[in-house]
């Protein structure tokens, strides 16, 4: 008890003090080109909100690129025979940042909160029965599923465990009944987590400072891991890169655009890690709108899409995506229809369309590109150029991401084309395939407005869910479903991109995919070579 109190005292003290470098431990500095608009892990959407959430909060199970998930706050778990009930056994030595011990009650609270507060985490966990969350004892929790969900355990990575007592002690007036605002006000500038870092200072639109949590027990602190992380919001890419080269930042969250790559590669002090991601890039088509309701038009459009240029010239490289699921998740699956850039074939399919050329020429199709995402606009320009050659008019329209998300929730408002990526937060084919069944419609993200279905595909996906996870039979069904979906071209399946991560050579940052989106940015795994002169010079900046 005394120890707990002491930790609590220390952590509350360090929160109260303005956080500037304590001598000895390295400070990690980086720039963010998007605003951090929420610190609530349930509401986090963009790369930075997500990165902050996963450094400040821990999940029950931790993503692992090889094994899927490994025990974390939960030291073990088991499923019932019908795979509709899961029981997790928690470690008893995990502390929240206020020094209190993490208990099953907190897990139950966090789950209920994630399923109540709007945000994309709830979407991934929607198979869980919110009213049947059982706290068996302080270290045991049981969830009941409404239907079998083969991706359930992997999806648990997204559930960040929050300090329920602390949030409720600080609740404000709100629309969640006895839960008030569910801690939203408290979370505006502080955290309620148990992760390796604590939010020490946050100024919306300006900066974020994280400090290492000394009471962290799940991983031992290395002396050359960042003791403090300073993130500055720098909206302009050019300024961000200038500051990186000037040594004000240690690494760069963003892959440089292809024309800029050589600038990074030629700098002797800079290293660039490259790894293949599972980010699924596609152009979703609203198949309820004419002429996109015609499969031949969709196939023609798919053939008119130059995926290689998109992948290698607009983005910094990657592997081609055949069908809705990346190869890495689907295993060996031969015969998925693929649309390699071919204008002749595009013309052939368009000729087969039920729409006459004169009718096609009348459509004005909007291509929504996320405002400010330059690469996305370029993809739109490219597609509109080749579709113009086919006699189809496409207008590229920059739209705010939140507006796209809102529009995509209904087929009536969904854009004809949206280019975006799904960062495969949950690494399982079923998550990605579900979007092509009615059950997966309308989820704003990550499906992004797919309103296409097919009875055979739905049948296969449902059947696969009931089979043993990872079994050849299950994978075979997923393979068949992918073939069928790709044949109908409800979206242009583009590619999985290559991540280029520039860093100063004294820093070892993530070097491969982290197993779930942004888990490569667990800062406690970053290491500094503190003996290098560049390190010493840059830390002073």
Give the residue with the Cβ less far from another protein, 198 or 405.
405
Interface pattern 415-454 for another protein (x via CB under 8 A): ---------------------------xxxx---------
Is residue 72 within 8 Å of residue 156, measured between CB atoms?
A: no
Residue 391, token pair as written in the block: 């006699």
Angle CA 26–28–30, to nearest 5: 160
H or E stretch at 142: strand 140-145
- What Å distances lie between residue 228 and 29, 190, 197, 199, 469, CA to CA? 9, 16, 8, 10, 40
| Residue 56: its H or E element | helix 47-56
User: Long-range CB contacts (< 8 A, 24+ apart) of 101-104?
Assistant: 101/4, 102/73, 102/161, 102/163, 102/194, 103/138, 103/139, 104/135, 104/136, 104/137, 104/138, 104/139, 104/140, 104/141
Among the listed residues 92, 105, 137, 236, the single contact to another protein using CB under 8 A: 236
Specify whether the CB–CB gap between 522 and 197 falls below 8 A: no
Q: What is the CA radius of gyration of the chain?
A: 24
**Does position 377 bind another protein by CB under 8 A?**
yes
Tell me if 309 contacts another protein by CB under 8 A.
Answer: yes
Give yes or no for residue 374 binding another protein (CB under 8 A): yes
Chain center to CA of 372: 19
Task: Say whether residue 22 binds another protein (CB under 8 A).
Answer: no
164 lies in the site for another protein, by CB under 8 A? no
CA distance 286 to 297: 12
Residue 20 Cβ vs another protein, minimum distance, rounded to whole Å: 5
Stretch of residues binding another protein (CB under 8 A), selected from 76-84, 98-106, 240-248, 431-439? 240-248
* Residue 495 in contact with another protein, rule: CB under 8 A: no
Q: Tell the smallest beta-carbon distance from residue 114 to another protein (Å).
A: 14
Based on the shown chain and the rule CB under 8 A, indicate whether residue 138 belongs to the binding site for another protein. Answer: no
* Nearest distance in Å: CB 239, another protein: 5
**C-alpha to C-alpha distance for 506 and 490, rounded to whole angstroms:** 46
Position 234 contacts another protein (CB under 8 A):
yes
- Which candidate, 416, 304, 292, places its Cα nearest to that of 365? 416
- Name the residue among 520, 448, 449, 481 with its Cα closest to residue 330: 481
Residue whose C-alpha is closest to residue 246's, from 272, 271, 269: 269
Stretch that binds another protein, among 90-98, 125-133, 254-262, 333-341 (CB under 8 A): 254-262
> What angle, 0 to 180 degrees and rounded to 10, lies between the N-to-C axes of helices 343-352 and 295-303?
170
Residue 238 near another protein by CB under 8 A? yes
Q: Is 132 in the site for another protein (CB under 8 A)?
A: no
Which position among 90, 157, 382, 475 is part of the footprint of another protein (CB under 8 A)?
382
Q: How far is the CB of 442 from another protein (least distance, A)?
A: 7
Among 257, 343, 439, 476, binds another protein (CB under 8 A): 257
Least distance to another protein from the beta carbon of 103, Å?
A: 29
Q: Does 211 bind another protein (CB under 8 A)?
A: no
Q: Is 272 in the site for another protein (CB under 8 A)?
A: no
Q: Min. distance of Cβ 439 from another protein in angstroms?
A: 14
142 contacts 85 by C-beta, under 8 angstroms: yes
Quick one: 323 or 444, whose CB is closer to another protein?
A: 444
Q: How many residues bind another protein (CB under 8 A)?
A: 60
If one asks whether residue 172 binds another protein (CB under 8 A), the answer comes out as no
For tokens 């599972």, the residue is 278
Nearest to 257 by CA among 279, 237, 233, 243: 237
* Calpha distance 442→406 (Å, rounded): 10
496 touches another protein (CB under 8 A): no
3-state secondary structure at position 31: strand
- Binding flag, residue 515, another protein (CB under 8 A): no
Q: Is 385 in the site for another protein (CB under 8 A)?
A: yes
Q: Does 18 bind another protein (CB under 8 A)?
A: yes
- State the minimum distance, in angstroms, from the CB of residue 19 to another protein: 9
Among 9, 80, 118, 473, binds another protein (CB under 8 A): 118
30 belongs to the binding site for another protein (CB under 8 A): no
Alpha carbon 367 to chain centroid, angstroms: 23
- Give the span between the Cα atoms of 10 and 17, in whole angstroms: 11
Asked whether position 259 contacts another protein by CB under 8 A, the answer is: yes
Residue closer to another protein (CB basis): 202 or 478: 202
Q: Is 186 or 339 the residue whose CB approaches another protein more closely? A: 186
| Region binding another protein by CB under 8 A among candidate stretches 53-61, 349-357, 376-384, 468-476 | 376-384
Applying CB under 8 A, the residues found at the interface with another protein are 18, 20, 35, 37-38, 118-120, 175, 184, 188, 203-206, 232-239, 242-243, 246, 257-260, 263, 309, 313-314, 371-372, 374, 377-378, 380-382, 384-385, 388, 395-398, 400, 402-403, 405-406, 409, 442-445, 541
């Amino acid at each position: 008890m005394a120890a707990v109190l002491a930790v609590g005292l220390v952590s509350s003290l360090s929160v109260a003090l303005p956080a500037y470098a304590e001598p000895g431990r390295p400070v990690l500095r980086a720039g963010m080109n998007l605003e951090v608009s929420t610190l609530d892990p349930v509401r986090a959407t963009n790369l930075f909100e997500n990165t902050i959430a996963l450094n400040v909060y821990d999940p029950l199970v931790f993503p692992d690129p090889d094994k899927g998930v490994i025990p974390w706050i939960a030291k073990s778990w088991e499923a019932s025979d019908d795979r509709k009930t899961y029981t997790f056994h928690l470690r008893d030595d995990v502390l929240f940042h206020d020094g209190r011990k993490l208990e099953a009650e907190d897990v139950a609270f966090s789950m209920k909160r994630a399923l109540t507060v709007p945000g994309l985490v709830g979407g991934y966990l929607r198979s869980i029965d919110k009213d049947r969350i059982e706290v068996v004892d302080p270290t045991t929790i049981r969830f009941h599923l409404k239907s079998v969900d083969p991706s359930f355990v992997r999806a648990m990575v997204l559930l960040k465990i929050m300090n329920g007592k602390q949030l409720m002690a600080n609740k404000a007036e709100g629309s969640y009944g006895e839960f008030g605002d569910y801690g939203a006000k408290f979370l505006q500038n502080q955290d309620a987590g148990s992760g390796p870092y604590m939010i020490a200072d946050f100024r919306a639109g300006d900066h974020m400072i994280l400090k290492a949590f000394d009471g962290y027990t799940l991983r031992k602190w290395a002396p050359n891991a960042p003791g403090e992380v300073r993130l500055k919001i720098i909206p302009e890419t050019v300024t961000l890169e200038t500051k990186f080269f000037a040594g004000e930042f240690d690494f760069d969250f963003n892959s440089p655009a292809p024309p800029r790559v050589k600038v990074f590669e030629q700098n002797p002090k800079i290293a660039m890690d490259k790894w293949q991601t599972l980010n699924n890039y596609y152009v979703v088509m609203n198949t309820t709108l004419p002429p996109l309701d015609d499969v031949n038009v969709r196939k023609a459009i798919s053939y008119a899409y130059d995926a290689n240029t998109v992948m290698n010239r607009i983005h910094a490289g990657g592997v081609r995506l055949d069908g809705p699921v990346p190869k890495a998740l689907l295993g060996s699956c031969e015969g998925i229809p693929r649309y390699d850039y071919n204008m002749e074939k595009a013309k052939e399919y368009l000729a087969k369309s039920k729409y006459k050329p004169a009718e096609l020429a009348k459509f004005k199709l909007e291509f929504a590109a996320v405002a400010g995402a330059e690469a996305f606009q370029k993809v739109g320009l490219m597609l509109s150029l080749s579709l113009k050659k086919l006699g189809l008019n496409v207008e590229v329209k920059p739209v705010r991401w939140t507006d796209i998300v809102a529009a995509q929730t209904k087929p009536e408002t969904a854009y004809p084309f949206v280019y975006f990526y799904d960062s495969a937060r949950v690494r399982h084919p079923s998550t990605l395939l579900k979007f092509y069944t009615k059950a997966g419609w309308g989820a704003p993200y990550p499906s992004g407005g797919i309103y296409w279905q097919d009875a055979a595909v739905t049948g296969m996906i449902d059947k696969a869910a009931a089979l043993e996870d990872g079994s050849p039979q299950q994978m075979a069904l997923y393979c068949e479903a992918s073939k069928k979906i790709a044949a109908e071209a409800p979206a242009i399946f583009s590619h999985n991109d290559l991540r280029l991560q520039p860093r100063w050579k004294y820093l070892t940052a993530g070097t491969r995919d982290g197993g779930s989106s942004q888990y490569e940015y667990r800062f406690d795994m970053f290491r500094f070579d503190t003996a290098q002169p560049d390190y010493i010079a840059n830390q002073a900046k």
